[in-house]
Every structure is written in structure tokens, then in C-alpha cells.
Amino acid sequence: MNMMKLTLNNYFVYLSKLDRLWQKKTELSCYAVFLVLIIFWCRIKWNRRFIDRFAAKLPGPQSYPLIGSGLEFTGTLQQIMDKIIQLTEKFGSEPFKVWLGSTLAVMLTKPEDLEIIFNSSKALKKDEIYNFLINILGEGLSTAPVYKWKQHRKIITPIFNTSFINQLLPIFNKKTSIFIRNLQKELGKTETFDIFDYIISSSVDTICETSMGYNCDTQSDDKFVFSNAINESTKVICSRMCKPWLYPNFIFNIYAKITGWQQICKKCHELPDQIIKEKKFEHAQRKTMENTSKSEKNRFKVFLDKLLELNDQGANFSDKDLKDQVLTMMIAGSETSALTISFCILMLAIHQDIQDKVYDEIYEVMENGDQTLTIEDTVKFVYLDQCIKETLRLYPSLPIIMRHIEEDVKITNYTIPKGTTVMISSIGTHHLPEFYPKPWEFNPENFDPENVAKRHKYCFIGFSGGPRNCIGMKYAMLSMKVTLSTFLRNYSVHTSCKMSDIKLKFEVLMKSVYGYPVTIRPRVRTPSYQLKMKNKNL
């Protein structure tokens, strides 16, 4: 019995020693892990020492570990946009910092600083946040890495020459005529309607035909599925941009399943995939013809035709490259123009005196006839041009443009260190009171040539700036002039909305919270000044 007790005692002593040994090993392991974490943290801090020193010099909103300034940008899409505007108004033209998680972002509004960043070879790279757009846009000119952007921009730029843009005018005229005809159902109604619904439909029609030679008029279901998918995609992308905790892919993948992200992406790509497949087949058939007819040689070629021809000449666009470029043009080109036109029509509805002045100019150029608009006519729409640019100043489609600094860049008062993100605030620059007195008022005289000459070139960045500016600027301006001038020739536009009623929201692009509510009446085709003189004589 005593021997058994002794054996048991020895066993328990052994277990006790083993437990103490295990505790020591666990304790040592914890110390080792803790030490590794400290070393890792110290290494990160050492590598980031220049960024942290630079950040210490700048003012900015409160930030916290891991999420940075993320709490500043919570809430509704309107509250996020309000916060961006509040920050830019608070700091004016001085740089300030915003922590995007652990990434330092510097907000710039000063035109001299913008010029340096836009034209620096060290700041051509789009910020990593643009990777959130790749599932929708692919790697087109807007999102491509610098090496790919340089190759493709050099090849694609000649396509957007004046001759090609001018050849698109018949398509612009045709689609605008359909837009005018569709609006007739709103005549005689006293309740307002959202003009954006009509404009985005026309814009998608136009971009499909000019980019891919595809007529959406007969495929309205395809068009609406595509438009709705784009709208849904921007909401998801915007939500991710404003929430640093959604930046890691493994977390976003969970969020993506909840929001049906994969289905949204699929719907965005269905229409372009279908059209590109058809156009490639047609192109291949034309190539196999031994003798190309004269009519084929003179056939008008749209953007996709041009890309396929460039491929024949050695451009080496892969199928994915072709799709990415077309997607970028379709998505970026349709909604940005539609938003600007909608805002411009709303501004003219609010400011009847300015609307009268625009119509007077159109009447002076076109008179009372129904003749088709020509390129020469659009060149004469000088005041309309000013109204479009003033709309882009007040309500830039892209309120924030982001670049990644690959090497130190010296701006006017600071040197921005490598690894920093730069946020170029077009909404901030466009509302600096030192350049635009009463910055939240709609005043097309801001773009009178004399006033433009007094300001720095980068006081207006409605189409970005530098070598990575918007390649479709001429396309956009011509299409907007055609749409607006034709609309105003046929209808006068009215609204009970006031400037103070307009609230903005951030959905990657900047939009109106309450849409663009207007009513329309048939245009009395007499210049406003003649009507005023007639009423005065009576």
C-alpha cells in the first residue's frame, strides 16, 4: 500500500514539474511573440519615420489606430460629402492630413500645388484605392498601372483627334432627337420629374453607339440592366472607400457576399462582353474578304473599330485590354456627362435670366429653323460653354482625385515623402473664395475669357490635369453642347428648387441627394430680349 502511495506521489510530482515546464515554455513563447511584434512595429515605424514626421507638421481631423480618420466619414452618403466640403472650407488652400487607416493622405486644393502633382512623373500612379474599381472598370486608362497606362495612352490618344470627334456629331444629333421626343410625355405636367432619368438613358445610348457601334434604342432592357448595375456598383465601391476596415480583401469578400457584389459585376459586364464578341466576329469577317469594297473603306469607324484596327497594326491589345478600354469609356463617359448635363439644366431652371441669355445665343446662331446642328454652330455657343464649365466648377463629377507618391515631391511649402497618398480636392479648389467670389453661386461670368486669364490654370480641374487628364474632354464637351442646345431650342425648363435646397452626396461621383426636379414647357421660339421689348411696348 505504501509503495502505491509513493508511486502516485512520484507521478503527481512528475505532472507538476511537467506543468511548470509547459507554463515556462508558454511564457517564453508569449515573450518571443511579443518581442517579434515589437521588432516588427519598430521596423514599420522606422520605415515610416519620414511620413510620420511630415504628418506631424500638418493639421487634420482626429485619427485613431487602425481605422485612422475613418470615424470622420461615417454616416449617410450626404454626411460624407458634407464632411469633405467642411474640411476643405476649414483649411482653405493649406494642405491638411487625413489618415486612411494606416495610410497618410494629404489633401491639396492650392492650384500651384495641384500643378506640381499633376505634372510630376513621381505622382502618375493612381492610389491603391482605385483597385476597388478594377472589378468594374478593369485596367483602362483611368485605373491602369503607370507602365500600362503609358503604353495604351500613347496608342489611344490619336484616336481622339478633332476629326474623329467631329465625325461623331451625327450620332449626337440622332440620340438627342430621341431624348427630346421622349421628353414630350412630361409636357403639360405641373409635378416635377427627375431629368436625370432621361439624360442617363440618352447618355448610355450615345456612348454605346460611339464606342462600340451598338444601337441601344432597340435593346432597352440591356441598357437599363447595365445602368442600374453601374449605379449599384458605385454605392458598394463608395462604401468601401469610406470605411478603412473594408480595405482588406478578406473582410471585403464577406461584405461582398452580403451585398451581392459578384452579381452586380456580372451585370456590368454582360452588355460590353456581348457587343465586343459580336464586333470582333464582324471585324474578322471583314479581314477575310479578298477585295474590300469602296463602301467598306468609307465606313464610319467607332472607338472599338479603331482599337481592333490598331491591333492589326501591332498594338497587341489582349481581349481583356479591349474590354477594359471599352468599359472605361462606357462607364466613365456616360455617367459623368449625364450628371453634368443634369446639374446644368437644374441651374438654368433656377436662374431664368441665365437660361434666357443662353437661349438668345442659341437663337442667334440657329435662328427659328429646325436645321441640324453643325460643328460650326457649336463653336459659336460661347456662353453655353461658360455655363457648362461653371456647372463643372460648382459640381465636379469627381470631387476627389487620388495619386500615390513614388518619390519625394516638393510642393510650394512642403516636401511630400515617398509612400504618401495625395488627395486632390477639385470640390475644394473650385470653391476657393480668393479665386471665385461667392463660390457657391452659379455665375457663368467666372469663365468669361478676361476672368479666366486672371486665374491660375489649375483653378479649374473639371477634367483633371497633366498627362493623366481626361482623354475624352473634347468628346464630353461636344456631346454636352449638342444635348443642352437642342434641349433649350425645344423646351424652357423650370423648377421650384432653390440653390439652398441642393444637397450633395458622395457615390465615387458627386450627385444630388434629391435628384434634379424640373418641369418643362414648349419653347416659344422668340429671343427673350424681343419678348421683353414687346411686353415693354404693350
Could you report the per-residue pLDDT of 450-476, keeping only the tens digit for each? 999 999 999 999 999 999 998 889 999
C-alpha cell at 271: 452588355
pLDDT of residue 299: 67
Query: For the chain, what is the largest distance between any 2 Cα atoms, rounded to a whole number of angstroms?
Result: 132
The percentage of residues in the chain with a pLDDT greater than 90, rounded to a whole number, is 44
The mean pLDDT of the chain is: 85
More confident residue, 47 or 197: 197
Please answer whether residues 126 and 422 qualify as being in contact, where contact means their C-beta atoms are separated by less than 8 angstroms: no
- At residue 213 the predicted structure's pLDDT band, cuts being 50, 70 and 90, is confident
What is the secondary structure of 146-180 as a DSSP string?
A: HHHHHHHHHHHGGGG-HHHHHHTHHHHHHHHHHHH
pLDDT tens track for 190-200: 899 999 999 99
Residues recorded for the chain: 538
Burial (Cβ within 10 Å: 0-12, 13-18, ≥19) of residue 186? middle
Question: How many Cβ atoms sit within 10 Å of the Cβ of residue 222?
Answer: 17
pLDDT of residue 152: 87
Q: Taking each helix axis from N to C terminus, what angle separates 352-366 and 528-537, rounded to the nearest 10 degrees? A: 110
Please answer whether residues 391 and 484 qualify as being in contact, where contact means their C-beta atoms are separated by less than 8 angstroms: no
Cα within 13 Å of Cα(369), Cβ side: 5
pLDDT of residue 47: 58
Q: Smallest Cα–Cα separation from 212: which of 139, 305, 140?
A: 305
Q: Give this prediction's pTM.
A: 0.87
For 130, phi then psi, to 5°, come to -70, -15
pLDDT of residue 229: 83
- At residue 231 the predicted structure's pLDDT band, cuts being 50, 70 and 90, is confident
Domains of the chain: 43-537 (1.10.630.10)
Angle at 214 between CA 168 and CA 315, to 5 degrees: 75
CA distance 304 to 211: 6
CA distance 217 to 52: 55
The residue-averaged pLDDT of 41-48 equals 59
pLDDT tens track for 349-395: 999 999 999 999 999 998 766 778 999 999 999 999 999 999 999 99
pLDDT tens track for 99-109: 888 888 999 99
More confident residue, 532 or 306: 306
pLDDT of residue 535: 45
The residue-averaged pLDDT of 231-250 equals 82
pLDDT of residue 533: 45
pLDDT at 34 over 70: no
